[in-house]
Amino acid sequence: MSGESVDEPVGLGAPAGSVRADSAVTSAWAGSGAPAGSVRIGLIWAEAHNGVIGAGGGLPWHVPEDLAHFKEVTLGHPVLMGRKTWDSLPERFRPLPGRVNLVLSRQAEWAATGAMRVASFEEAVARVGSRALPTAGASETPEGGGLWLWVIGGAELFAAVIDRAHRLEVTELDLAVNGEAFAPSIDLSWRLSHSEPLVGVLASRAGVGYRFRRYERP
């Protein structure tokens, strides 16, 4: 894994994973089915035993290996997040480097340095597909082919778009924490295609057991 600074506060795709997200998050999508064209959708997050992905508008853990994994997966690709997820990132980490930062907000007047506002999921997909992005995004990935858009949170955004995704990158953490934001359900339409390790967990230098799991649609 490549070495993103381990203090980058985004190992899981849900840095602001809160069900109290901007109300636009749950109403800004329309239609159903997989996105058209060559754009492929990935979701990435980390979760505790009880499915918690966030607490108090942030992350209730710090696992450097997960942060490095997050960078390895998303670097060079556009990332999409809700506005509260963007707001939760410390200013020194906004925008996430090496990735076009798309922020979903239906507030037309909203703007932030380093972020590109989109009013809907469809707009984000269309921008990626048309390559109407700055240089840092819309790169192609040999594995799986096509252009990738990575959704990184929060909880409502995950729930709203998981049925339209092609891949899930999930870090399972060997701990239980309290929180108010939860991972979306992974139903039987998903196939586990990779697990590291296959059995048990790896030991983080932070003292937390973890494993990486990838799910894809058959």
3-state SS track over the chain: CCCCCCCCCCCCCCCCCCCCCCHHHHCCCCCCCCCCCCEEEEEEEEECCCCEEEECCECCCCCHHHHHHHHHHHCCCCEEEEHHHHHHCCHHHCCCCCCCEEEECCCCCCCCCCEEEECCHHHHHHHHHCCCCCCCCCCECCCCCCEEEEECCCHHHHHHHHHHCCEEEEEEECCCCCCCEECCCCCCCCEEEEEECCCCCEECCCCCEEEEEEEECC
Q: Is the pLDDT of residue 66 over 90?
A: yes
- In CATH, what is the architecture of 23-216? 3-Layer(aba) Sandwich (3.40)
* pLDDT, position 134: 72
Q: Is the pLDDT of residue 85 over 50?
A: yes
Domain boundaries, the chain: 23-216
Task: Dump pLDDT digits (tens) for 143-201.
Answer: 555 799 999 999 999 999 999 999 999 999 999 999 999 999 999 999 999 999 999 99
pTM recorded for the entire structure: 0.81
